Chain A
């Protein structure tokens, strides 16, 4: 298990078989966006992994964070490999619905 820490945000990575789950904890905003990108960089390109991002402990996300999720979606979609976002808290789901990113997180988009 790898732990990447900064004061208000950290990402915890757990790998079980070929499923890699990244737990986002705290506040994902502009100031920690580079940390998040750094954590995700080696994982996004790994076609042997089923990549899951778990948001249950994410307290806050801004458009920068949503933008990073979108780039991951695009990259994984382009490689035709799995990417799922799970346990989205209500107030974050609201932002996903508002911006229109939710439809790309829908199960049918990721289940093939």
Chain B
């Protein structure tokens, strides 16, 4: 395999109906690269959460677009989810506050789990959000060849 990073780019309406299309493409690309079933499941959840954020928060009631860029590298897959809507806030909250581990049911707030899942399921997560210019989320998963050597 060459060291070059190859790109697959998808552009979709920022609509919940299209998020499964992203998962289907992710499945195709990740399985072609040799990711395990478990890694693919993890990435499906993380990438969907990034898309959900764009669908829910970026454009309000207006129509908008989401770009999904798959970067296929020799040892890793990076997926960038990009919108040009309102920026996504709430990223300053420490991760542990978003989970339910230390909470009683009565204190639990519904919501806020999506971002936590992205971080927990991927090797690297970067979020760049600029007021009025949208949000770019990049999720990276490394291929682990430790068990099956090619």
Binding site for B on A (CB under 8 A): 8, 27, 29-31, 60, 62-64, 66-67, 70-71, 73-74, 77, 91, 95, 98-101, 103-104, 109
Contact = CB atoms under 8 A, between A and B. Distances in A.
B150 interface: no
A41 B56 CA distance: 22
A95 B113 CA distance: 10
Contacts of B114: 62-63
11 contacts: A29-B16, A29-B48, A31-B20, A60-B23, A62-B114, A63-B49, A74-B110, A77-B106, A95-B45, A98-B116, A103-B101
B51 to A, nearest CB: 8
The size bracket of the interface on B is: 20 to 34
B19 A31 contact: yes
Contacts of B105: 73-74, 77, 104, 109
A104 B117 contact: no
B94 interface: no
Contacts of A67: 110-111, 113
B108 A74 contact: yes
Q: Which 9 pairs across A and B sit closest by C-beta, in order of nearness?
A: A100-B100, A31-B16, A100-B101, A63-B114, A63-B113, A30-B16, A67-B110, A100-B99, A91-B41
B41 A29 contact: no
Nearest to B99: A100
Nearest to A27: B20
